[in-house]
Structure 1
Amino acid sequence: MSTPPRASMRSLVRSFVVLVAVSVALQLASLMAVREIGRRTEQSRLLLSASDATRDLLDRYASTTYLAVVGLSTSDWELLLRQRKLAKEFEEQLSKNFAALRQGGKAHIGGAEVSLVSEDDPATKERLAATDSLWAEVRTSAVRVLRSDNQSLRNNPDIERFQTASQRLTEALVTLDADIRQRAEPDLRWLGQAQRALPVGTVALMLLLGAFVYRRILLPFDASMKDLARSEGALRVARDELECRVEERTAELSAANAALVAERERLAHANQALEAQREELHRANAELERQEQALRRSNEELERRVEERTAELREAQQRSLELARQAGMTEIASNVLHNVGNVLNNLNTASAMLAERLRALRVDPILKAAEMLEAQKPDLAGFFSKDERGRRLPEYFGKLGQNLTAERGELLSLVGALEGHVAHIRAVVDFQQSYATVTNLDEPVDLAVVLEDALRMAVPSGGRGGVVIDRALSSLPRALCDKHKVLQIVLNLLGNAKWALGEREGENKRLAVRLARPAEDRVRIQIIDNGVGIDSALLTKIFQHGFTTRKGGHGFGLHASALVARAMGGTLVAESEGPGLGATFTLEFPFRSAEA
């Protein structure tokens, strides 16, 4: 038997090692490609999950913000605080999710946190920047809704802007989902093709290795065996040929059988994966149907609760108007009692001075002089001519008469003051009786006269404690309105102005009353003082029910006045440059001429 040269063996081994190395390198490259495509697919899936979770958080944020506005409009502070807290939590989660989508980081998905990497696709980056700006607009409009003076749930431009911004952001997220899915489709196709190509490539490499072994090893070995067989005899050659053919056929059959088994296993795995995907799709469809039914029930329940809450709000508004009327009558009665109390104080002072003067009258000297004359009655002529006391007695009586005349004048002046105070009390009571009739009907009213009456009731003596009253009452035609409502609002505003001026230290306290007609169909009444002023953060809170900065205040006057002004179709607003700089309250309502 002949032996192959050493160089041929080395070449054979080298070729075999190169082929194995190439096969391993191709397999590693395929695995790395599959891993990279899988990583990109997983990142796309995480982005889609984060976008869906962000859209769900946005819906919940919008719902909690709307419920907070409902609590604010109904003065349900517990609901307001709870929904504000929830809205704050959703806002923080949304901000974190948008930041993670834009530049990578932690994001909330289904109650858990996942890590996202920064996106490198320019189009996706541009859409993420657009969603970030829309999120800033949604946050700004939500803050404006919660700080708005307009607490109406319908026809509220701030709520409409908030809903519009939320809808635009939701649409932007949906568009981002579509872009991510569209971009992930090629990766998914490549991943599927690579996963299908790996078994085929493995089988091909195995066949290639088999062919190499067969051509470079088995064939030379077969040739040497044939040479050996030819040297041993024809029979051995024939038998070797038969065995060789049997081995070749067996190898071919084994390779074909192995390929068939591998193909059958691949088809079985593919069928199992397809069946699993089909079941997963069925479960997802069922879950979507359940969520749709739950959402429909939630919407119906929310609509029912909104209708019930609207009816409650209407009823509460009617009760507030009735309470405002009662509070107005109570305020007027309180002002009258206050004015009568001031006059009674003056009356008490005058009566005390009269009693003191009566007690100080010099009556004892007259009695003593009368006793002296009674004792000298037998000889009055001698008493007046000879006695020094008798000679001085006429001069004493003259001076005593002058003193008594002066005392009588002062006493008469005090009595006149008492009569004046009593007449003032009667005038205040008669004046209040002219406003005692309760009515809800409009009547011709001279607004300047109503303001003068309010000043007489609120500041009866034309200003006390150094307060200077400045009137600027334009001459207007008689207006058709409810004078009791106007009087109620003005008395509340004058009472607050008096308190603000009383709390202010120093002199130069001024109270201004303005009446003007800024437009043909509007009338404006302003109460201006230079008292303690109002902080800018409280300019809207002072009209809320129960809110007050006065010691002993009940926090209902300004709230009731605002409700009455709204019932008249008007507005009541407060302005102030800050603490210590005074305040201006402006009442505006529609002007209807009584003549027209």
Structure 2
Amino acid sequence: MIKLLIVDDSKINQVFARDTILSHQIECDIDLCSNGEEALKRIYGAAYDLILLDIIMPGISGVEILQKLRETPPDHLPKIVMLTNINNLNTIRTCFELGASDYIKKPFEDVEFTSRINSIIREIHSDNERIANLKVIAEQNQALKEVNQSLKEAQYYLLQKEKLVAIGELAAGIAHEINNPLAFVMSNFEMLKNYFTDLTPILEGIKALIDEQCKDEMQFNRIKTMWQSQDVDFVLADLPDIFSDSDKGLNRVAKIVQSMRNFARVSEDEVYEFVNIDEVVEETMLIVNNEIKYVATINKYVQEGPLIYCNKGQIEQVLVNVLVNAAQAIKAREYQQLGEINIEVIMTELYCEIHVSDNGTGIDTAHLNRIFEPFFTTKPVGQGTGLGLSISYDIVVNKHNGKLEVQSKKGVGSEFVVMLPILTNEVGDK
């Protein structure tokens, strides 16, 4: 309904205008006002659609009210129709220049008065409809922009997913190719160690015999010189350490290759098995080692407990996401030295809890309740799809009946807690 204010110092004019409007069933909510001061208070205090404003009034005139409204527009600027009994065209022109929409001469003539009021009201309805349509269009445009952005992000994610699938398959293939030569290198290396172990006492015996039985001083000196020039004593003493270090290195390579094969393989969603969480954590640490080693040190504590019934590949994926996020948070803080990531596995009566904490940048409180939403990210465009934690939440909560919680303080760090139920069945039957 149109909200209308009649401003006139004549009560007769106020009542005539009001009664004429009501008698012609023009739907309005009408207020009356007798002076300019009160009119300004009402205009700035309420949202009027139409004001019938007398030009000449004691105190603040209608022209002065127009000037005031032009200088300091109210939140809702109304249509203004001037009421006048003067024929001064300059004054009328000034009113139009200051924003008046029309004028009506006094004394009022019924037909002219109602036709002009109806015309202005039609304009108001038309303007309101146009504004409403523009608002709807703006909302639709905004919605389309958001949908378009979501589609772009979804497309970006799908492209990244395709790349990850390709990389995963490539990694699995490379791991398989590396595994075969690695196997025979390790086998040959083991044989070489055995040969050395067998030959060492023989070489030592030969040296002893030469020392004791060589009668030809020239020949003895020649053999001794050769032995010393080749530094055989040092070689015999150093070879066990070389074998030990090489053995450790080969075993580590073998572990990394096996971890890559386990992580890169296509994992069936419904394949659940009993796993040792310590092994899952160790494999994950090997996978993300290159991402973290130049950023932070990792401290690990695992409480012994039962095997956990889960999809191993999916839980490794969750831990990879959480650990990589922790490393990125520490990197963003730009420490002069390495940051710190703590992994602690605690067994409770109902859950196996994997706590991953860091001393990175932390998460703003306003974002904490949104970090598990799909496509939500605080990272710059192109540096994050906003799906890592969303996927992790789905894996832990929906696929494993567990919980994924986070605590964080801006500038201090974050702690993610993956809680997997300690069960003997049912999870794999989902």
Which structure would you say has the larger Rg?
Answer: 1
TM-score by length of 2: 0.50
Give the strand-richer structure, 1 or 2.
2
More helix by share: 1
